Amino acid sequence: MNPVLYSFRRCPYAMRARLALQVSGCRVELREVVLRDKPDAFLAVSPSATVPCLVDQSTVIDESLDIMRWALQQNDPKGWLDMPEAGENWITRADGPFKHALDRTKYAIRYPDEDAATHRAAASDFLTELDAVLNPWLFEKPSLADFAILPFVRQFAYIDKPWFDEQPWPNVQLWLDTFLESPEFATIMHKYPQWKPHDPSVYFPN
């Protein structure tokens, strides 16, 4: 029996989990969740009630990075786990301060007591640092860090894409464009209908 992945197409956390599953070739039963209408089967297994959530028999993996590592530890044909320790630091900063600033820029209406411009500047500082080290990847070859971070850079870029494209971040922009034009991105962004109990199984990668 294949593991089950509860996912949501546009969620950057779910995107990076699907990226690792795709590159590893670890096949899962994909259940597309609509966040405003979460199914009971999903809520019964996910401690956080957030996507992605992977269920492998009695094991539940409820964090996207843990799902990435789970998949790559089974099969890592492109060597994504073979990266310097600095990669973990980049991921931590992206998941922490950068995502904090991203949310308060993109969803400013949810944070009326905070200044969106200040948070956009903080996110921009992170991308300026990133731009200085990309060549064209964070390290000598693509790694877990690149694909753990790229979905969030995409999310930030599309808050205001014309503004993003005007920023002095040629390496970040090339890095993101390479990702967006890749067959891997096209595959993970395929649209699936909302999962409902008793639907025929859908598998990913297929």
Tens-level pLDDT at each residue, the chain (206 residues): 899 999 999 999 999 999 999 999 999 999 999 999 999 999 999 999 999 999 999 899 999 999 999 999 999 999 999 999 999 999 999 999 999 999 999 999 999 999 999 999 999 999 999 999 999 999 999 999 999 999 999 999 999 999 999 999 999 999 999 999 999 999 999 999 999 999 999 999 98
Whichever domain contains 175, its CATH number is 1.20.1050.10
Q: In this structure, are 71 and 157 located in the same domain? A: no
Q: In this structure, are 56 and 92 located in the same domain? A: no
Q: In this structure, are 15 and 51 located in the same domain? A: yes
The number of folded domains in the chain is 2
Q: What are the residue ranges of helices labelled H in the chain?
A: 12-24, 40-45, 64-74, 86-93, 99-106, 116-133, 144-157, 161-166, 170-180, 183-188
Q: In this structure, are 103 and 166 located in the same domain? A: yes
How many CA atoms are closer than 13 Å to the CA of 70, on its beta-carbon side?
22
